Structure 1
Amino acid sequence: MQAVSSEIELVQGNEFRRGWRILLASMLGIGCGLAALPFYTAGVFAPHLAREFGWSMGQIMAGLTITTVVVVIAAPVTGVLCEKYGTRKIALASLACFGLSYLSLATLGNSLIQFYLTWAVAATLGAGTLPITFTRTVNRWFDKHRGLALGLAMTGTGLFGVLCKPLLAWVIADYGWRGGYFALGLLPLCLALPIAFTLFREPAFTPASGKAEPVDETAIPGMTRGEAVRHWRFWLIAAILVPISFALAGAVPNLEPILLDRGIDQATILTMTPLVGLASISGRLIGGWLLDRFWAPGVAFVLLGMPAISCIILTGTNLDPNMARAAILLIGFALGIEYDVVAYLTSRYFGMRSYAAIYGIFYVCFSTGAGFGPLVFGMIRDFAQDFGPALQISAVILPLCSAGFLFLGRYPAKTVT
């Protein structure tokens, strides 16, 4: 009775007053998880590993490719496990295993097989730290302010992207690259895991209903995974995500060589690249606020289509640094909202009944495009001796595919929670 009474008080309060604990745990869990740590730090470790073991940059970066391939399998499986066992158990177990996997990187020997196997294990066991897990619970705690809540939860990746390189530079300077891997492994174990254990939990109520009685998990409105994959909206979203993520993610890892090709000096470039992380944080917050107030497909069309302007700007020769900064901000802003849009659309069009399983499949679509984008951009650069053709292709892809969201129509009332 005391527990039910406590939930009644929570429901009657403001969504953020009752849900800030969930947002804090989700922000740290996502920021210290698989979505952020490998991709923001691989470039920092690469020169040290090359010097220590004689590996090429391609061999080292192949670890990220392995991570992407493993996630294609692990993400949908994680979604199913979340539906079966609950997100709290999956998140806690995955944070612990992911942290231990990173600690093991500090023991690397001169073996590429060991290096690749460690990344495969980290991606498999760390898939529960992806937004699939945390956004399922955030969606269930928030309704009226769901978009902003998702944006706040996912700022963890952007914040980590801004802060991780200075932190690693200090640790590696004093303790070497092994100390750097050890420090990163401590983040999920000593920061995210204790906070998630203390604060992260499923709600015992449905936020949209205003009722505080315990929720029957089997009665949560929405489609099952099987119903969703038979629906045309599912395949439309999936088809849109692959090319959009390809166009956005292909440019970001190649920003430095793109800007060098356009005549911008290295010192100026170093002041520009952090703008991606800062813009992604703004994209999550402003985009989330817009999702709560306007039709989400319309918001997605505008914000994910606008970086086409960036691609056109970056194709210019003798690029003005201020124009380059504007282009980078637009790309970073769009990268910030893409995860949020997918999470929001999944909850609104398919409901929360099998949210994690459905979002897990969408995450695979995103990862596929993002995983191969940088590689294809690099191949085009090698063939054409210029990034221009890749940027021109992206300038067409972004508005054209973003317009596909406009065909989704109204939110189905029966699946809204």
Structure 2
Amino acid sequence: MTIQSTTLAPRSIFHGWFVVAAAFAVMFVGFGSAYTFSVFLEPLQHDFGASRGSISLVFSIAGFLYFALGLVSGPLADRLGSRPLAVTGMILVAVGLAAASAARSLVEVYLAYGLGVGLGVGCAYVPAIGAVQRWFVRRRGFASGLAVSGIGLGTLAMPPLAALLIASVGWRGAYLALGVIALVIGGGLSLLIENDPKDRRLGPDGDPPREAASSTNNGGASMREAVRSSRFGGLYVSCLVCSFGAFIPFVHLVPYARDHGVAASSAVLLLGMIGAGSTAGRFFLGALADRMGRDRSLIMVLIGMALAMVIWAIAADVWTLTAFAFVYGVFYGGWVAVLPSVVMDYFGGRNVSGIIGILYTSVAFGTLVGPSAAGFAYDVNHSYALPILISAAANIVAALIVVAILARSGTPAIKSAKS
């Protein structure tokens, strides 16, 4: 009996935290590389003689693919495991960035960056974040927030690094260097991802396996049941509406600041402020959601994103833009952290990666339209005012949709905190 107890004892460090660290690395490298795009916008526009709308479409294609591909990568992760998909995704990101460095036309940038980064992040993102959900129950919001804080820290660190690389080796050399980082850091650490604590004779949160038998991770809705539910429908429409404006700052904040006389070095740091706020939001709002209710927290962060957009609409100097960037980052980070946990609360762990993947197709369509539409709106009006205000309104609508679907289901918003 003593020998058996020793065999089943969990490690001093619960392996779920290694899974969180691996997912963090995937987010840091994948999204960090993607969100450097605003730094590359002016060099690409200059070299290829293209409009802001045309250049913005590069990011929109990548964004569409990395959210839409979750429709395929999520179910594959549920069947094959998350690790092979995450490793493959990081390799694709590296190849796409390296190919973009050699592009000789804007079409080649579309193909290299759009397809490489888009397919790569799409292959890795949903499997990585889905794996984290299975390893935790009591601290799921915190663990999910910690994992996706890689996006925030990537946004904080990678744009200034990209700007430094562009200044020293040009935009082509910068893309090549980012590709090497993606391969070494993202590809290497993604090897730590594992799908299920049962494979290590553990339960969620490090509990003994026999205690895990009653865990919500062991069951859940089928894909068909989830997609046909009113809750899923509400989440889908909410995400679709929100995402039309959610990614506009990542593409257009730097050129907006430059249009208002902000120095290039300071404008790049604004993206870092989004990253800093995003990191704080993922940590603190993810943990707060475990206490106050994850679906209630989802409503709160959507309203917060709308209020931040109002700040952007009136911003005309570096200090106001800095305030916008940080506040927006906090609530955007909270949105990204809380949403997968809400899905897990509602539908269980049996098909969580696949359900998240289907849900994120809504974000894909919004990302495809939003940043490029904002760029074309600027080309026509030489102003970002209209897309910013529409984005603020869209977030309010998204919050109201979640309120309505919760009221229709008749479930108290704080129930998820007790799951």
Q: Is 1:350–2:310 an aligned residue pair?
A: no
| Residues in 2 aligned to 1:85 and 1:134: alpha-carbon distance in whole angstroms | 13
Q: 1:97 is matched with which residue?
A: 92
Segments of structure 1 that go 5 or more residues without pairing to the other structure are none
| Residues in 2 aligned to 1:178 and 1:389: alpha-carbon distance in whole angstroms | 33
Give TM-score scaled by structure 1 length.
0.84
| Residues in 1 aligned to 2:107 and 2:71: alpha-carbon distance in whole angstroms | 26
Give TM-score scaled by structure 2 length.
0.83
Cα pair distance change 1:322/1:163, threshold 3 Å: closer
After TM superposition, the structure 1 = structure 2 runs for residues 179-218 of structure 1, keeping only pairs within 5 Å, are 179-198=173-192, 200=194, 202-204=196-198, 205-207=202-204, 210-212=207-209
Q: Is 1:139–2:133 an aligned residue pair?
A: yes
Q: 1:372 aligns with which of 349, 369, 375?
A: 369
3-state secondary structure, aligned to 2:209: coil
Check conservation: 1:241, 1:366, Cα contact below 8 A.
yes
Q: Is 1:253–2:251 an aligned residue pair?
A: yes
Q: Summarize deviations over 1:68-124 as a string: whole Å, max 9, x none.
A: 343464220111211111112221222223323333333x24244433332324433
Q: CA deviation at 1:346?
A: 0.7
After TM superposition, the structure 1 = structure 2 runs for residues 367-406 of structure 1, keeping only pairs within 5 Å, are 367-382=364-379, 386-406=383-403
| Residues in 1 aligned to 2:120 and 2:77: alpha-carbon distance in whole angstroms | 14
Q: 2:72 aligns with which of 71, 77, 83?
A: 77
| Residues in 2 aligned to 1:100 and 1:6: alpha-carbon distance in whole angstroms | 45
Segments of structure 2 that go 5 or more residues without pairing to the other structure are none
CA-based RMSD: 3.5
Q: Summarize deviations over 1:345-368 as a string: whole Å, max 9, x none.
A: 110001111111110112121232
After TM superposition, the structure 1 = structure 2 runs for residues 2-401 of structure 1, keeping only pairs within 5 Å, are 8-10=8-10, 17-33=14-30, 35-38=31-34, 40-50=35-45, 57-71=52-66, 73-106=68-101, 108-118=102-112, 119-130=114-125, 132-198=126-192, 200=194, 202-204=196-198, 205-207=202-204, 210-212=207-209, 220-256=218-254, 258=256, 265-266=262-263, 269=267, 272-316=270-314, 319=316, 322-382=319-379, 386-401=383-398
3-state secondary structure, aligned to 1:254: helix
3-state secondary structure, aligned to 1:306: helix
**Aligned partner letter, 1:95:** M
3-state secondary structure, aligned to 2:197: coil
**Aligned partner letter, 1:342:** L
| Residues in 1 aligned to 2:322 and 2:207: alpha-carbon distance in whole angstroms | 45
| Residues in 1 aligned to 2:170 and 2:319: alpha-carbon distance in whole angstroms | 36
Q: Summarize deviations over 1:162-184 as a string: whole Å, max 9, x none.
A: 11133233434444433322221
| Residues in 1 aligned to 2:243 and 2:296: alpha-carbon distance in whole angstroms | 18
Check conservation: 2:163, 2:268, Cα contact below 8 A.
no
Q: CA deviation at 1:147?
A: 0.7
Q: CA deviation at 1:148?
A: 1.0
| Residues in 2 aligned to 1:17 and 1:167: alpha-carbon distance in whole angstroms | 33
Q: CA deviation at 1:199?
A: 5.8
Cα pair distance change 1:373/1:295, threshold 3 Å: same
| Residues in 1 aligned to 2:38 and 2:2: alpha-carbon distance in whole angstroms | 51
Q: CA deviation at 1:26?
A: 0.9
| Residues in 1 aligned to 2:170 and 2:267: alpha-carbon distance in whole angstroms | 26
Check conservation: 1:310, 1:330, Cα contact below 8 A.
yes
| Residues in 1 aligned to 2:382 and 2:7: alpha-carbon distance in whole angstroms | 62
Cα pair distance change 1:67/1:349, threshold 3 Å: same
| Residues in 2 aligned to 1:301 and 1:20: alpha-carbon distance in whole angstroms | 28
3-state secondary structure, aligned to 1:178: helix
Check conservation: 1:142, 1:207, Cα contact below 8 A.
yes
Cα pair distance change 1:8/1:91, threshold 3 Å: same
Check conservation: 2:54, 2:372, Cα contact below 8 A.
no
Q: CA deviation at 1:207?
A: 1.4
3-state secondary structure, aligned to 1:142: coil
3-state secondary structure, aligned to 2:350: coil
3-state secondary structure, aligned to 1:32: helix
| Residues in 2 aligned to 1:206 and 1:60: alpha-carbon distance in whole angstroms | 47
